Amino acid sequence: MSGPRLAVAASGADAAEIRRLAGIAEHHNIDALVVGAVTAGFPNADDTYVMTAAGGVTACTRHLRIAVALSLRGSAPPLRIAEDIGVLDVMSAGRLELLLRRQPDERWSRDLAAVLGAWSGWPLDDGRLMPVTPAPVQPNIPAWTVDVSSRQPTAKPLARGKSMIFVEWSHGTAVPGIVALQNIRHARDAAGAATVVVDVGSVPKGDRVEVIAVLGAVVAPCLRCAADEVAILAQDATDWLVRRTDLHHPPRG
């Protein structure tokens, strides 16, 4: 998790679509998939729905990191969410991450602290502490808070680590030009981010496979290479992707 990462999100997608995209993302070497939405107002963003959809992702992937976007203000109480976090981290063999949409009240901060410390002890009404089970596989689950009031959300780490930036995909099924690729790198560097999350929620469902292929084959390498290598690497990766596509989809006679 120390190097630059590329993650995919699909705000508003239902559980079946999320599960489909998870397999596609893992096939194309995407680092992580965001389940849920980092901003409010999207369907299928209730915490319970997000955790259920994430359970489906754990069952159909082996390496993909799974970042669940939670508000701690959904239909399930924070204790239930803490239990689900432990279950999902065990099911995924330690691949779970948390994106927490910050709410403007002190109770949310207390609930957040309780959830993150749940496996040491959950505060009971009589003052006792009772550990929540099962405990996660990871000693410390990577967690970020998201400022939902920002026009371009940035997630800040709760512990050691770097932030995330979120980018909405606006290139259709085309490969972004060199300027667009460099702009993504500049935005990442300006935010001090280690992860770029590309939201393909506005892309038609039928085009998402091609978009994720572009992300994995072209965008991801261009985020990880040296700055002076972007142009030549983008061209080489694009040429490879075109040849691969032509082989899989030969012209019709």
Q: What is the pLDDT of residues 64-118, one digit of tens each?
A: 999 999 999 999 999 999 999 999 999 999 999 999 999 888 999 999 999 999 9
Residue 25 lies in a domain: yes
Structurally, how many domains does the chain consist of?
Answer: 1
252 assigned to some structural domain: no
Q: Does 30 map to a domain?
A: yes
Give the domain CATH number at 184. Answer: 3.20.20.30
Residue 104's domain comprises: 5-247
Average pLDDT over residues 33-62: 94
Q: Is 171 contained in some domain?
A: yes
How far is 10 from 35, CA to CA, in rounded Å?
8
DSSP secondary structure of 21-55: HHHHHHHTT-SEEEES-SSTT-TT-SHHHHHHHHH
Phi-psi region of 20 (alpha: psi -120 to 50; beta: other; left: phi over 0): alpha
- 24 part of a folded domain: yes
pLDDT given at position 39: 86
Using CA of residue 22, residue 167, residue 160, residue 132, what is the dihedral sign? negative
Residue 253 in any domain: the answer is no
What would the two tokens of residue 121 be? 């002890």
pTM of the predicted model, to two decimals? 0.92
